[in-house]
Amino acid sequence: NAGVTQTPKFRVLKTGQSMTLLCAQDMNHEYMYWYRQDPGMGLRLIHYSVGEGTTAKGEVPDGYNVSRLKKQNFLLGLESAAPSQTSVYFCASSSGGGVSGANVLTFGAGSRLTVL
Amino acid sequence: SQQGEEDPQALSIQEGENATMNCSYKTSINNLQWYRQNSGRGLVHLILIRSNEREKHSGRLRVTLDTSKKSSSLLITASRAADTASYFCAPPVSGSEKLVFGKGMKLTVNP
């Protein structure tokens, strides 16, 4: 039981290049999330999904796109990478539903992206 | 907007000592969670406390919640070097299932 798997773990891009981060979960979770973590900034929500075929914007969505074509996968795309997108990206999933704040998240190990 | 703010931002203690971390949040909540992040890893859920609970224990962890003061605390007793990590409180966005993570508190436990 792998939980939440992120690929790749590390990537270096040049400004203007595009790439996709893949998140896969094997827990049959409904909800999936993409966060970025920067020094001194904490974790910020980029986009999230409450079910297959749905996506929604989080706190910092600009410059990113996402897709949830299959329940187990949540893709985060950078169409034209910028140095400001250098960060560690975390995917998380949860079963969703229930009372506000009771949604326990399972995180992946992170993907470290550097944009030169 | 809702955000969990941990205090202090960094704490260094000796093995065997207790560590207390405080969290303040802005809007009313039904539940609050705490997470731990070891260096270079993803966050791991530690404990969830509900608004009708004032205190909750899990092993060496004790969490309190004071909804009137909009604050929570995480106490780690008899700390170990393996407790070295960053700790985050995560209140929900009001009326939402989304969680808000602050900057975290870096705990260093010296052997």
For the stretch B51-72, pLDDT in tens is 999 999 999 999 999 999 999 9
Residues belonging to chain B with any Cβ–Cβ distance to chain A shorter than 8 Å:
29-33, 35, 40-45, 48, 50, 88, 91-104
Place of tokens 């070891």: B38
Residue A110 lies in a domain: no
Mean pLDDT, residues B20-40: 92
Residues of A in contact with B93 (CB under 8 A): 100
The answer to the question of residue B110 being in a domain is: no
For an interface test with A, the pick among B44, B67, B96, B97 (most A C-beta atoms closer than 10 Å) comes out as: B97
Tell me whether residues A4 and B42 touch, CB distance under 8 A. Answer: yes
Peptide bond just before B91 cis, omega within 30 deg: no
Quote the number of domains for chain A. Answer: 1
Which residue among A50, A97, A109 sits closest to B42, beta carbon to beta carbon?
A109
Q: What is the CATH number of the domain that holds A76?
A: 2.60.40.10
Q: What are phi and psi of A99, to 5 degrees?
A: -80, 145
Is A115 part of any domain? Answer: no
Q: Which two tokens stand for residue B37?
A: 């992040």
Does residue B55 fall inside a structural domain?
yes
- Helix, strand, coil distribution of chain A in percent, nearest 5: 5, 50, 50
Nearest-Cα residue of chain A relative to residue B102: A42
CATH number of the structural domain spanning residue B30? 2.60.40.10
Residue B80 lies in a domain: yes
Q: Please say whether the beta carbons of B101 and B35 come within 8 A.
A: yes
d(CA A65, CA A52): 15
Question: For the segment A77-109, what is each residue's pLDDT rounded down to a tens digit?
Answer: 999 999 999 999 999 999 987 777 788 999 999
**Is A111 within a domain?**
no
Composition of chain B by helix, strand, coil, percent to 5: 5, 55, 45
Q: Provide the number of structural domains found in chain B.
A: 1
| pLDDT score of A65 | 97
Which contacts of B80-83 are long-range, i.e. CB under 8 A and separated by 24 or more positions?
B80/B15, B80/B109, B81/B15, B81/B109, B81/B110, B81/B111, B82/B109, B83/B19, B83/B107, B83/B109
**3-state SS, residue A111:** strand
Domain with A83 in it: 4-97
**Residue of B84, B57, B96, B85 lying closest to B73 (CA atoms):** B57
Q: What is the mean pLDDT of residues B70-86?
A: 96
Residue B111 falls inside a structural domain = no
Averaged pLDDT, A3-9: 97
Q: Does A43 touch chain B (CB under 8 A)?
A: yes
Q: Would you put residue B22 in left (φ > 0), alpha (ψ -120 to 50) or beta?
A: beta
In chain A, the percentage of residues whose pLDDT exceeds 90 is: 87
Q: In what order do the strands lie in the sheet with A19-25?
A: A4-7, A19-25, A73-78, A65-67
